[in-house]
Amino acid sequence: MNRAFYEMMYEYYSTQILFGHLKFGEKLPSIEHLCYKFQVAPQTARNTLYKLRNNGFIEISAGKKATVIYKSTNEEIKSYINNYYLKRVDSITDINEIAPSMINPILKKGYKYLEKEDMNILYNTILNTDPRDTYLSFTMGSAILEKLGNKLAMNLFNKIILFYKFPYFDGINYNFYSFMEDNDINVQDRKNYKDAIDNILKSCKNHKTDEFLKNYFIFEDILLEDIQKYIKYPNDKSKISNEQIPFIWNIYRDRPQKCYSVAEKIIGEIFYGTYKINSYLPSFKKMEEKYNVSFSTIRRTINLLGTLGIVKTIPRKGTKVSIENIDLDNFNNKVINKNIKLGYESLEILKLNALEMNELIFSKFSNDDFDNIKKKIISLDNKKSLDIIFAYLSSIILFSKSKFIKMVYTRYFALILWLYPINIIYEEKETIDINHILKILDKKDSNAFSNIMIKLLENVQDITKSVLQKKE
């Protein structure tokens, strides 16, 4: 089962019901139609329906289409929509500003791999989807990212879409409306929306990938503007919830999330010297308290780090930070290899959107922020490519005002930490000119800095790729 599409399908239909577009007594599409619309296997579609049934949204009868059994009044629908978006206004406004610079460069890379068959599938899917249906954003974006093969980029894209939910713009604000009776989504907006989709259909039909990407970006710009209008701040500021819900980017599920998160924290503390080479980690009991997890999670984490080769358990003494056991064979471990691949994909994302994101980030940095970045780089004990990448990522996390950027770059940082053991055992062929980097930071030249970062990212990618290839 494709879990990403399963999650997306469930959120899509539960939202359509909770937001009042699908009402009591109405039918969901057939299994066959669901498979076609979402490009999933029949079992994934069935599992989605089972979850909707188990959560009280639909009724399933043999040989019939699923029926909505969830009841709600117009006031309850309005209350639910308000409650969801008013608690996320700040986060969505933040994402609206940042996401195009973060995601569009990745799409510009991925669309080049679209083939005629992909364009035909997109044409038929879009043609048979209501143009007011914001799921189209996921349909087109995921088709491009699927071709790129970067699972982390796809995961981030999915999580952003899920955070927005699926507002349904029907023009007259009858089934769908927010806290404003008139949310400024006018007839001209709807015409622009329809024109963009018509142009997308033409480009798909004619297999013009360049035109498809151009019109997809136009579609996305209109969509983001409409979403901002749809959930705009009400005139009465007292209606805005004080408890704003942030965008959270979790990649793993439940128990693995805890184990990997603790592992990443410990690797980070080793990297920064909190736990020095040849020193001992705290006792399991103390680590339970420090990281707020169970004993079994700590045990699994230490076993994992032992396999990675950066700690060594010594009977009756404890867990020693040690790099003497780092060996390429250690990376045959399925979990370690998976996380190394995610670290590699983080590097790829950072490389693809370096120019756009650094231009945006530099424009927000103060003179003090630039000075602090330079201090971080100068103070590094080692000045390999990965060390400088970490210094820059940690600066972004520390100094950026955007909570969305902080969240996403914290995740990149954590995943790239899995590459740290590789960084220890490999020597780089070229010496990095630190003074040149510092001079560029003095000039606040985002393009020149991005080009250097791209080179550093490629250095680490080349080393990581050699490890992954040896594993295979």
Task: Enumerate the H helices of 248-382 as residue ranges.
Answer: 254-271, 284-291, 295-308, 334-352, 354-364, 367-378
Residue 26: per-residue pLDDT: 94
User: What is the model's pTM?
Assistant: 0.91
CATH code given to domain 1-72: 1.10.10.10
Q: Taken in order 240, 242, 246, 252, is the CA torsion positive or negative?
A: negative
DSSP 252: S
Spell out the domain ranges in the chain.
Answer: 1-72, 75-243, 254-325, 332-471
The DSSP-derived string for 398-463 is HH-S-HHHHHHHHHHHHHHGGGHHHHHH---SS---HHHHHHHHHHT-HHHHHHHHHHHHHHHHHH
Residue 444: per-residue pLDDT: 96
Residue 193: per-residue pLDDT: 77
Beta strands 311-314; 318-321: pairing state: antiparallel
- Class of CATH domain 254-325: mainly alpha
Profile the chain (472 residues) by mean pLDDT over runs of 10 residues. Answer: 79 91 92 86 94 96 92 88 86 93 97 96 87 83 93 94 79 41 53 86 96 94 79 61 88 78 94 92 95 94 93 93 82 87 96 97 95 94 92 95 97 95 83 93 97 96 80 54
Domain 1-72 matches domain 254-325 at the CATH topology level? yes
Packing angle, helices 446-471 and 334-352, rounded to 10: 160
Residue 222: per-residue pLDDT: 85
